[in-house]
Structure 1
Amino acid sequence: MGYADWKDQVSEFKKMDVRGVAGNFLQGLKQQAAALPVGSGIEVVQTFEPIPLYEVMDLLGYQHHTEKAAENEYHAYFYRTEKKGSLEEIPERPAVITNYPMIDEKLGTLAVEFWDLTWNSKNRYLDYNVRLLLSLSNAVGAGRKRQAVRELLKAYANGLDSRALDDVFQQFAWNMGIGYFSSEIAPSPLFQAYKIVKQMEKQGKSRAEINRALKEKFSGGNPGGKGDGC
């Protein structure tokens, strides 16, 4: 089945015009997409091609077709062909990208293309989880703890063995020093997320249960508990 098989139904799709929307609309979109029955769809209107949505919707059983209606106006149609996946299995995506068109619409397009090149290009050599751990480590070094939490959540949701996290935190202690680790890393939301993983695994909880607990606690990596679009 392809676009030709369902293109006559797009006029009936639920329409979400997110141009200029501040904050993270992705959570609401995912919830609506997960609830829709097979044979229905969603139309998303954005100022740039919504590439980050493609994998998310594919994991929920959607096909997609995107058209450029005008300069800085894209219509992405998502049609559900099968019911699969769950919200707990859906990877996080960079909600901050939606803020760039508010500054400059061309900047929004460039940001999406740069993100796609960095994370999805077939030219990348390192495993996706390895790149997430590198990003996590860079974020810690730059003092961006919220980003570091997001990378941990994404890597674990993507199947990362928690023993890799053991190695990462051991490297933090070695490279940053015990004093810094004790005062800055150990009390941080990042280490809280790590402890949740290790403690729940020890209790015999499934990865899906752990991912759900992490999302409920950090909501996409925001220590405050509610996503703020960063």
Structure 2
Amino acid sequence: MKNIEWKDKVASFKKIDVRGIAGNFLDGLKKQAAKLPVGEGIEVIQSFEPIPLYEIMEMLGYVHYTEKTAEHEYHAYFYRTEEKGNVEDAPERPAVIANYPMIDEKLGELAVEFWDMTWKSEKRYLDYNIRLLLSLANAVGAGRMRQAMRELLKAYANGLDSRALDDVFEQLAWNMGIGFFSSEIAPSPLFHAYKLIKQMEKQGKERDEINQMLREKFSDKKGVCK
């Protein structure tokens, strides 16, 4: 940390030890980060490198430095250099990853590295939204509607043209059959979210307003897709 300009301030950072915490602590952490003024910071202690936090904190105006202090102990220091972004626009991250270290700490490290390789690596060829749609379709096929909903919300928030969703649902009807589509997909919250997008776009609503409505009605926080 010797070359970090703000190294002398880390002693005053609020320390948050999330090792072994079950459930989603990300929402609380994001809210705390959004409230901190420029010139202050947060120290997060985790049993694996908290890679999923980096993009979220960067969007809120933070820079970071992480050091590994023991075999399963990472200290990530986040320092706010500018006030920008807001909690609602912060990208969703897989909170379930935090559960893996409870099983095995090495498993926690492997899970977050696998997630980073799958979703963040520059080696990936397919566009991010295309990969989200593939994940959505796979999740529907496996009966994981909660995951499918997350992928739809993320893709639309990332600027996906709703016409791509038309194609996805048409393919689901073709590949899974009209009967299955009619009885399982059409009544689901996933399809209701799709219909909301189409209806609000037809009404001329702005994407920000549509995304806000989607979050209010269909995010995991509302328990819709559990």
The TM-score with structure 1 as length reference comes to 0.92
| DSSP 3-state at the match of 2:19 | coil
Q: Is the 8 A contact 1:43 1:77 kept in 2?
A: yes
Stretches (4+) displaced over 3 A: none
- For the pair 1:8 / 2:12, whether they are aligned, the reply is no
User: How far is 1:208 from its partner?
Assistant: 2.0
3-state SS of paired residue (1:5)? coil
Superimposed CA distance per residue, residues 12-54 of structure 1 (whole angstroms, 9 cap, x where no aligned partner):
1111111000001111111111121111111111000000100
The aligned residue for residue 95 of structure 1 is 95
Q: What is the deviation of 1:115? A: 0.5
Give the structure-2-normalised TM-score: 0.94
Q: Aligned-pair RMSD on alpha carbons?
A: 1.7
Alignment map for 1:75-86 (pairs within 5 Å): 75-86=75-86
1:60 Cα deviation from its structure 2 partner: 0.9
Q: Is the 8 A contact 1:88 1:211 kept in 2?
A: no
Match of 1:123 in 2: 123
Structure number with higher relative contact order (C-alpha < 8 Å, ≥ 6 residues apart): 1
- Do the aligned partners of residues 152 and 84 (structure 1) sit closer, same or farther apart at CA in structure 2, a change above 3 Å counting? same
Which range is displaced more, 194-203 or 21-30?
A: 194-203
Residue 38 (structure 1) aligns with: 38
Give the Å deviation of 1:223: 6.5
Structure-2 separation of matches of 1:3 and 1:60 = 23
Count, aligned residues: 225
Could you tell me which amino acid in structure 1 is paired with residue 223 of structure 2?
G
CA contact (8 A) 2:48 2:109 kept: yes
Q: How does 1:132-211 map to 2 (within 5 A)?
A: 132-211=132-211
SS of the equivalent of 2:37 reads: coil
1:3 is displaced (CA, Å) by 6.3
Q: Would the alpha carbon gap of residues 216 and 115 (structure 1) be closer, same or farther in structure 2, given more than 3 Å must change?
A: same
The Cα shift of 1:116 comes to 0.6
Partner of 2:63: 63
- Whether the 8 Å CA contact 1:189–1:223 is kept in 2: the answer is no
The range that moved more, 131-140 or 192-201, is 192-201
The residue type equivalent to 2:171 in the other structure is Q
Instruction: Give the % identical residues.
Output: 76
C-alpha separation in 1, matches of 2:208 and 2:35: 19
8 Å contact from structure 2 (residues 62, 78) kept in 1: yes
Output the CA distance in 1 between the equivalents of 2:224 and 2:170.
27
Query: How far apart, in 1, do the equivalents of 2:164 and 2:176 lie?
Result: 18
Question: CA shift at 1:87, angstroms?
Answer: 2.2
